[in-house]
Amino acid sequence: MKKDTEVNMMHGAGGEVMGELLQTLTAFKNNNAGGIGLESLDDGSTFTIGGQTIVLTTDSHVVKPIFFPGGDIGRVAVSGTVNDLSVMGARPIALTSAMVIEEGFPIADLARIVASMDKALGEVGASVITGDTKVVEKGSLDGIAINTAGVGVIEGDGFLIRDNGMTVGDKIIVSGTLGDHGLTIVSYREGFDLGDQLKSDVAPLWKMIEGAMKASGKGNIHAMKDPTRGGFAACINEMARKSRVKVVVEEELVPIRESVASAGELLGIDPLQVANEGKCVMSVAPEVADKVLAALKAHPYGKDAAIIGEVVEGSGVVMRTRIGSERFIEPPLGDPVPRVC
């Protein structure tokens, strides 16, 4: 295949193609402050101050449209960063908010975005404590881009969770239905009238994850990640590859809303390959799986949580279908829906 010489949309789509670009973008020699560094491509990185493990992460948000059923760019900007901290086991403390705004953008929309960010922060007890604003000429940006960085802490009774710790025998848990965000965004953009059943799942997950961690006991959630760009397919493949294990998923246990499945069929898009903005995927010690599931279900954002499979020896991710056959869940080349977060 010809090597790309220019950035294209697939380079931002969270799949295998984006992985190639990351080789260029992560070529820092100064890349590790004494903890989990850039090379691990985890949801966040760590460093230690006075014995306290700090988790740091950053994300830029360019979702199109800015307002959509179930959320808006502000809720995505806070939830995306809060969730990257949370899936590492860190309580989100403080965020930054840096906005690049196109000349002509309505100030009333900015106020709406900030109010939405504030509401999401309030749900998890985090704060935006510093920010930056730049304005660029009309036409040089599509409305607004928001970058948020976040700092979280691993607390005494908590524990650091990586995306590479899957262990043979673990149960795989998803915290709810898959594909809602990506299929809502694409359906809305395409102008399909799918009633009011389709809406984004965008949500800040710390309180739900904190409950699951307390129920699991220290260290028993072996791996966790949020299935954003590239969806569940990209997420589970990355976790399995990094952990050097195989994952077997039972198709009939995977929660997918009927409206999401129909939209996917209509558009030719696999719900497992599109972004979720309010879900996590966990690999959990089998003896605590039921307890963790119950804790997830006790939180509104986890009410549809399900145990969907297990970790075995080998490599790759296999789905056992309803009719008893098996097929690989392949890592997508890129999320089929660009600018989804």
How far is the first Cα of the chain from the last one, in angstroms, to the nearest whole number?
29
Quote the least distance from Cβ 136 to Mg ion, whole Å.
Answer: 28
Q: Determine the Cα–Cα distance for residues 69 and 80; give it in Å rounded to an integer.
A: 17
Helices 289-297 and 206-216, packing angle to 10 deg = 150
Q: In terms of CB distance, is 72 or 84 closer to Mg ion?
A: 84
And the tokens for 169?
A: 């025998």
Q: In terms of CB distance, is 84 or 277 closer to Mg ion?
A: 84
Quote the least distance from Cβ 37 to Mg ion, whole Å.
Answer: 16
Strands (E) across the chain are located at: 45-49, 52-61, 67-68, 71-72, 91-102, 127-136, 144-153, 171-174, 221-225, 246-250, 281-284, 306-312, 316-320, 326-328
**How open is the CA angle 193-194-198, to the nearest 5 degrees?**
130
Contact by Cβ (8 Å): 283, 165:
yes
Quote the least distance from Cβ 280 to Mg ion, whole Å.
Answer: 9
- Give the CB-nearest residue to Mg ion: 43
Q: In terms of CB distance, is 171 or 229 closer to Mg ion?
A: 229
Quote the least distance from Cβ 81 to Mg ion, whole Å.
Answer: 9
Cis peptide before 65 (omega within 30 of 0): yes
Quote the least distance from Cβ 267 to Mg ion, whole Å.
Answer: 24
Q: In terms of CB distance, is 161 or 293 closer to Mg ion?
A: 161
Residue ranges binding Mg ion (CB under 5 A): 43, 84, 226
Q: Which of 156, 183, 150, 237 is nearest to 69 (CA)?
A: 183
Q: In terms of CB distance, is 188 or 232 closer to Mg ion?
A: 232
Contact by Cβ (8 Å): 265, 192:
no
Q: In terms of CB distance, is 78 or 198 closer to Mg ion?
A: 78
Q: Determine the Cα–Cα distance for residues 7 and 21; give it in Å rounded to an integer.
A: 8
In degrees and rounded to multiples of 5, residue 265 shows phi and psi of: -65, -45
Q: In terms of CB distance, is 100 or 235 closer to Mg ion?
A: 235
Quote the least distance from Cβ 18 to Mg ion, whole Å.
Answer: 13
Quote the least distance from Cβ 27 to Mg ion, whole Å.
Answer: 21
